[in-house]
Amino acid sequence: MIDPQIWRATRAIFVREWRSELRNRQALNAVALFAICSVVTVSLGLGPLMRSTDVALVHAAFLWIVLLFAAFTALSRVFVVEEEQRTAAALRLASPPIAVYLGKLCFNLVLLLGLTVLVTILAIVLLNIRVGATDLLIGMLLAGSLALVAGTTLVAAIIARSSSRGALFAVLSLPILIPMLVTAVRGTALAFAGVSWERGMAPIQTLLAYAVAMFVASLFLFATVWE
């Protein structure tokens, strides 16, 4: 049984993150603009794609590339800001490491889900994507976002304690994210193509398994990074 204090501390950190973010909206503005610019650029560069068997895969790949790079912009901030504003030491004293990790993870997850909704709607409209199975697409995006956040939050904590933060986050995260990205792109392409849930379940299960594995590993390792 988890100590209720941990939940209270987690909730407090989550609320604090949102209060702090809504006060200056740095991450929200930067990420939303980045996402809009990326989708518009892809749409302008790509033009109307011919209908072929590979078009679903091309659309899915573009969608996840935009999501990935928007996530690189947004998700590392949660820990970098603590080091830059010199509030990390106070946070260490005030909350147990597990609550810090869970609070930041929840903040990142909500941020990424908002970003995913924005990017997906923009991509569907601007790239003229035909979604064959909407429910499967929603399931795939939810599972993919969980996997993306589970794979990057610990890396965000690692790079916050290094000297070259910005570039290092992408360098450290990308190799770890490739298995989930390959799965997410193929799964999203299946959803665009309109396959049944039976065929689309395998990528969702893989993404959820990846998310659980990375989440459990992060829970074990975070205290070591945070000390």
Instruction: Give residues in contact with another protein (CB under 8 A).
Output: 53-54, 151, 154-155, 158, 161-164, 168, 171-172, 174-176, 178-180, 182-183, 186, 202-203, 206, 209-210, 213-214, 217-218, 221, 224-225, 227
The residue length of the chain stands at 227
**CB of 63 or CB of 147, closer to another protein:** 147
Separate counts of helices (H) and strands (E) for the chain: 9, 0
- Beta carbon of residue 15, minimum distance to another protein (angstroms, whole number): 28
Start-to-end Cα distance in the chain = 24
Query: What's the closest the beta carbon of residue 219 comes to another protein, in angstroms?
Result: 11
Q: What is the radius of gyration, based on Cα positions, of the chain?
A: 18
Instruction: State the nearest-atom distance from the C-beta of 84 to another protein, in Å.
Output: 16
Give the separation between CA 92 and CA 94, rounded to whole angstroms: 6
User: Would the CA dihedral through 193, 198, 202, 204 be positive or negative?
Assistant: positive
> Which CB, 3 or 84, lies closer to another protein?
84
Q: Closest CB to another protein among 124 and 168?
A: 168
- Identify which of 115, 133, 140, 99 has the alpha carbon closest to the alpha carbon of residue 13: 99
CB of 108 to another protein, least distance (A): 16
For another protein, the closer of residues 58 and 124 by Cβ is: 58
Asked if residues 104 and 111 have their Cβ atoms less than 8 Å apart, the reply is no
Q: Is the CB of 23 or the CB of 51 nearer to another protein?
A: 51
Helices 26-46 and 4-24, axial angle in degrees (round to 10): 70
Shortest distance (Å) from residue 168 CB to another protein: 6
